Amino acid sequence: MPDQKIRCRSLLTERDWLGPAVIDLDSEGFIRSVEPLPVNAAIDYGHIIPGMPNLHSHAFQRQMAGLSGFANPEGDSFWTWRELMYRLALRIQPEQLQAIAAFLQAEMLEKGYTSCAEFHYLHHQPDGKPYADLGEMSGRILAAADQSGMSLTLLPVLYCRSGFNSRDVTEKQRRFRNTPEQYLELRQHCARMLQGQTLHRLGLAPHSLRAVSTEQMVEVLQACRNDAQPIHIHIAEQQREVEECEAATAARPVQWLLDQHDIDYHWCLVHATHMNANEMAALLQTHSVAGLCPSTEADLGDGYFQIIKWFEQSGRFGIGSDSNLRLSPTEELRMLEFQARLTSGKRNVLGEQGLSCGRSLYQRAVVGGAQALGQKVGRIAPDFRADLIELDEHHPLLAGRNGDSLLDSWIMAGDQTMIRTVWVAGRKRVVEGTHVARDTLQAAGRKAMQELL
């Protein structure tokens, strides 16, 4: 890609709005410089902000969006929702996974996500036997990202057992299962696939405390200790999970994790919904990221993350689309703020002094998301990758607005219709609000979903 300059009416730096301004990019799509332009200089774009990292996605679950609305006579919960997920997981074929993931990522890009951490545990054939290529399904996720232009942090998941007191998975979880040895071999396959890739990177993901024993996790973490890669884990999502952990270990999940492992900057604790004060205080000291997925957490009845206390203590967080029922970063951020309002009886709860509520949320989420993905994104600054969003200044709710008011209008009142252009590493992936390959990816994604239904 040749060097390029992006001249815009304004852009959001880490410290403030700058405009008019020019972003100078190198041939790899990284930012060389950000400079002001003369007031009367020609510009090509409106208002530009950093793209949002999506720190938690299960691509295959997009196929079940809207299919879990029939009430169970005995009551519905996260645990009954899993039964539908298992049924669909046992059917999907590699080419179908790739088609669903590629169109999903195209939709994410249209809505403002520019990078994604794929928490991938659908490893084996429907009968549970490994594919001839252990990395077959992981390769399909990577191939989808190459089709869509999404930057990916691939997180192959270690899944060894069905619960705290189990020694193996259930029959319904057979496609997920690996021993630590098999898992490390899978990661080697993934590392080979990622050689020479500049947009993607590899991490690791013990699924949860209930799915991986302490000994199994230690074995994998020790083998990967020199990699300095992102490490993600589901934690304390459901109250029942907390109770089962306490029964098995005599400790709550977050406390048990902190006691058994060296949690640091590289970790992302997904959900962390049910923490007590001691757990939160200890977790804050690790500088890890809380991975919050408000739309999925609401759909599954998980409960509220203690966002007010976490925010007030400068806790690091990012947002994810998780089950991919909804794909909008503005919805996730709005839900966090509205949750804070509903529980406190106040407004603009998550705003920092001197900044608007929307800007506070957005900037902290892009920085936390970038940390969780282990990617140099989330800021419009030299040496960061040019993952960018242009907000459409001609949209009725954005016309004539600028600065924090512009950003707040998108976050609190807007959606993807306010996005005009999206770049990943300086390449346009969305133009005039539409993904450049939407028709092709949509047709393949629709075909795969119809086959599965």
299 is catalytic: no
Q: Which of the residues 271, 274, 395, 435 is marked catalytic?
A: 271
Find the helix packing angle between 438-452 and 94-111, rounded to 10°: 130
| C-alpha separations of 187 from 54, 137, 140, 194, 405 in Å | 22, 12, 15, 10, 45
Tell me the CA end-to-end span of the chain in Å, nearest whole number.
Answer: 41
Q: Which residue type sits at 232?
A: H
Q: 293: closest CA among 303, 282, 280? A: 303
Asked if 54 contacts 116 with a C-beta cutoff of 8 angstroms, the reply is yes
130 by Cβ neighbours in 10 Å (0-12 / 13-18 / 19+) ranks as middle
Q: Are strands 45-50 and 316-319 parallel, antiparallel or unpaired?
A: unpaired
In 42-172, DSSP assigns E strands to: 45-50, 52-57, 113-120, 151-158
DSSP character at residue 387: -
Q: Which of the residues 322, 387, 392, 408 is marked catalytic?
A: 322
73 by Cβ neighbours in 10 Å (0-12 / 13-18 / 19+) ranks as exposed
322 is catalytic: yes
Please tell me the distance from the alpha carbon of residue 374 to that of residue 201, in angstroms, as a whole number: 8
Q: Which residue has the tokens 């947009």?
A: 199
Please tell me the distance from the alpha carbon of residue 265 to that of residue 371, in angstroms, as a whole number: 8
| C-alpha separations of 126 from 82, 175, 176, 184, 271 in Å | 17, 6, 10, 21, 29
DSSP bridge pairs for 345: none
The 3 state secondary structure assigned to 58-93 is CHHHHHHCCCCCCCCCCCCCHHHHHHHHHHHHCCCC
Phi, psi of 158 (to 5 degrees): -90, 120
Phi-psi region of 272 (alpha: psi -120 to 50; beta: other; left: phi over 0): left
Q: How far is CA 257 from the centre of its chain?
A: 21
The set of catalytic residues is 271, 322
